[in-house]
Chains A and B, each alone.
Chain A
Amino acid sequence: LAKTTQPISMDSYEGQEVNITCSHNNIATNDYITWYQQFPSQGPRFIIQGYKTKVTNEVASLFIPADRKSSTLSLPRVSLSDTAVYYCLVGDKGNQGGKLIFGQGTELSVKP
């Protein structure tokens, strides 16, 4: 299984861009990188997924270098409501299906 490493916590201010980097040195060829957001006592919410290069949607961008050993979630112009825990997950594909293995996420605190 590919292990992920993220910062435990990050602080930011409203309106700033936040970049959270995740390391996954043992990522397998077929693995995808997925980011989830979780508010207290709520189910995780899908943010973005990618395989290589750059992916962008209406809420975030995901940058993945060519070696795929890391990825960076970019949240543009954060607001107070972006305060949450962000999880980087590397999919466990193949015979073991699509279960998500949650490591320690990054607790983002956005201040006014």
Chain B
Amino acid sequence: AAGVIQSPRHLIKEKRETATLKCYPIPRHDTVYWYQQGPGQDPQFLISFYEKMQSDKGSIPDRFSAQQFSDYHSELNMSSLELGDSALYFCASSRGDTTRDTQYFGPGTRLTVL
């Protein structure tokens, strides 16, 4: 079965650079969630989209922005990168945006900021 695809899988950037993470949801899934997981920490919700509209926002820095495109893929744009942005970034998709709708996570993008 098709799974959530994230690219790139690994990314190394310098401080103050920008990065773009991409997420391709499971076919026919209309909701995308982004989570950040720092070293030794639990995943933290960043932002979500339902039917190409932002549906919720968590602890996402103003330096980050995201959108969901007409084909339902999503991109997380990160600017003015800081050392503290080094983390695993997971995208999850679901069909529907309620509690009952199971979220399927991608393999993650490991971002390292030097």
Contact = CB atoms under 8 A, between A and B. Distances in A.
Interface of A: 30-32, 34, 38, 41-46, 49, 87, 91-93, 96-105
Q: What DSSP secondary structure best describes chain A's contact surface?
A: loop
B48 A97 contact: yes
- Most interface-central of A44, A101, A102 (chain B CB within 10 A): A44
Most buried by B among A34, A99, A100: A99
- 8 residue pairs, one from A and one from B, having the closest CB atoms: A91-B99, A43-B105, A93-B99, A102-B42, A97-B97, A99-B45, A102-B43, A32-B99
A102 to B, nearest CB: 4
A98 B101 contact: yes
B25 to A, nearest CB: 13
A101 B45 CA distance: 7
Given A43-B108, A103-B42, A91 B56 contact: no
Interface string B81-106: 00000001010101011111111111
Given A42-B108, A43-B105, A46-B104, A98 B43 contact: no
